[in-house]
Amino acid sequence: MMKEKVILTDCDGVLVDWVHGFTQWMIRSGYTPVEGLVSYDMELMFGIDKQDCKKLVRHFNESAQMRYLTPLRDAVKYVRKLHEEHGYVFRCITSLSLDPAAAKLRQQNLSELFGPTIFEELVCLDTGADKDDALEQYRNSDCYWIEDKPENADLGLRIGLNSLLIAHGFNADYKGLCPRVQNWKEIYNIITG
């Protein structure tokens, strides 16, 4: 029954364009991206070491920028259609930060972009945290799980979710069983088809 009304989603790279926001913030902070390289791997993108990168990502995720991220592709149109025309509610599971202020900013961003009634729940995990425990409660529920990270999409399949992987350059070589979709229009058609 849950499948009929609940859609589980990641946030960054699924609902909002985190890479664009982070890249612009880094440039304003004095960092220069490697010329000609577009990557989800910010260590490569900015030529910085892993530890520095992790600190910068956490700092960005806990900054006021979380309130101003732009939507990813056609997410607003089709998420709203799924909610308004088909009665779906969304539960967002994001590895953002454990900082309550960051969660509030994320909630405000999602409400402003998508509307105040679409997201029934927002679960904020620590920066970069695995989603195993957060998804476990949905085991064998057949809920749709929309994700951009192949490992998390595959996790969803293993525990009985209908995983869909949002296409990005960093997951272009994905060879798993999860359908890879280009945009929310494809997701909409799969869910309502």
Q: Tokens standing for 137?
A: 């409660």
Task: Please give the Cα distance from 97 to 61 (Å, whole number).
Answer: 7
Write down the pLDDT at residue 40: 74
Instruction: Express each pLDDT in 14-65 by its tens digit.
Output: 999 999 999 999 999 999 998 877 777 888 889 999 999 999 999 999 999 9
- Backbone torsions φ then ψ of 162, nearest 5 degrees: -95, 85
Instruction: Express each pLDDT in 109-150 by its tens digit.
Output: 999 999 999 999 999 999 999 999 999 999 999 999 999 999
Report whether pLDDT(2) > 90: no
- Tell me which residue has tokens 């910010």: 42
Q: Predicted confidence band at 71 (pLDDT cuts at 50, 70, 90)?
A: very high
Write down the pLDDT at residue 1: 39
Lowest mean pLDDT among 3-7, 36-40, 78-82, 88-92: 36-40
Write down the pLDDT at residue 4: 60
Write down the pLDDT at residue 54: 93
Pairing of strands 180-181, 162-166: parallel
Task: Please give the Cα distance from 191 to 108 (Å, whole number).
Answer: 26
Pairing of strands 162-166, 144-147: parallel
Q: Which pairs from 18-25 meet CB under 8 Å and 24+ separation?
A: 18/69, 20/70, 21/60, 21/65, 21/68, 21/69, 21/70, 22/57, 22/60, 25/60, 25/63, 25/65
Write down the pLDDT at residue 42: 86
- pTM of full prediction above 0.85: yes
Dihedral sign (CA 189, 181, 62, 126): positive
The number of helix segments (H) and strand segments (E) in the chain equals 9, 6
For 146-167, b/e burial (b = at least 16 CB within 10 A) is: bbbbbebbbbbeebebbbbbbe
Instruction: Express each pLDDT in 144-158 by its tens digit.
Output: 999 999 999 999 999
